[in-house]
Amino acid sequence: MARKIVVTSGKGGVGKTTVAVNLAAYLAKKGERVILCDADFGLNNVDVCAGVEHLVTYDLVDVIEGRCRAKQALVKHPIYPNLFVLTSSHSAPERYISPQSIKIVLDKLSPQYDFIFIDCPAGLDEGFHRAVATADEALVVTMPHISALRDADKVITLLKSYQLQSLSVVLNKVRGELLLSKECLSPREISELLKTPISGVLPEEYEIYNGDLHKIHPAFKQLAEMLLTGKTKLYDATKKYRGIWGNVLSRLKRNL
């Protein structure tokens, strides 16, 4: 049976879709059979982020309403043949879709796959609960900024009311030079603040956000390995800012 992991956030723009896509791609590269399900019926851009928007024929609503079988709606990724994308509705986003209907589809697919990542809409409205209700585990993506952490705290409080097998935080857009100079909260401090373990640290680097799935950043690899092994090893976002050249790079970045 697949592990169903919802990737969520309280705040939009923190990079949860990027996290979901890259984790799914790396695990598929490792040989795991992975489904990437778009449960964001408003923005529904997982197919674009995964680079398969031109290959979509059917979507999740087509499956629910009986126009195709679940497997027919899965889009095989052209780079990673073990990765399959299940898009949300493009034709009728205003339709009501119940959590139970999505859960039935994913449960039907689950025995043939190892992981199902569910990309959750931002915010705490109906879409959030619909996505979370289909999952067994949750990754909360946030940034080391006060507004993002406050939203993450609200999300975590809600998630703890669900019977999830695991719940952890992914820190995104971490600036290593600020972390090194103690100008922002450390992962340990954020974990204590949110009363939730940190499972991954993703640096604010171009390679993270350029959308190229041919080269997956090492920070995503470490996070994915944690999912596979259960052993947490956080990416060191400060490494490139140490030493003489690191100090030069730090000064340059501060002046940008």
pLDDT tens digits, 161-180: 998 999 999 999 999 888 88
Determine whether domain 3-254 maps to CATH 3.30.470.10.
no
| pLDDT for 212 | 82
Each residue's pLDDT tens digit, 58-90: 999 999 999 999 999 999 999 999 999 999 876
Confidence (pTM): 0.93
Q: What is the mean pLDDT of residues 132-151?
A: 95
Q: What is the mean pLDDT of residues 227-256?
A: 74
Positive or negative: CA dihedral 52, 45, 217, 16: negative
| Tokens, residue 82 | 């073990």
Q: Parallel, antiparallel, or unpaired: how do β-strands 34-38 and 83-86 relate?
A: parallel
Each residue's pLDDT tens digit, 180-200: 888 899 999 999 999 999 999
Mean pLDDT, the chain, whole residue set: 91
pLDDT at 211 over 80: no
| Tokens, residue 20 | 């979901």
Q: What is the mean pLDDT of residues 135-150?
A: 95
Q: Parallel, antiparallel, or unpaired: how do β-strands 34-38 and 166-174 relate?
A: unpaired
pLDDT band at 244 (very low <50, low <70, confident <90, very high): low
| pLDDT for 187 | 96
Residue 196 burial (CB < 10 Å; 0-12/13-18/19+)?
buried
Beta carbons of 201 and 215 less than 8 angstroms apart: no
Q: Where are the domains of the chain?
A: 3-254
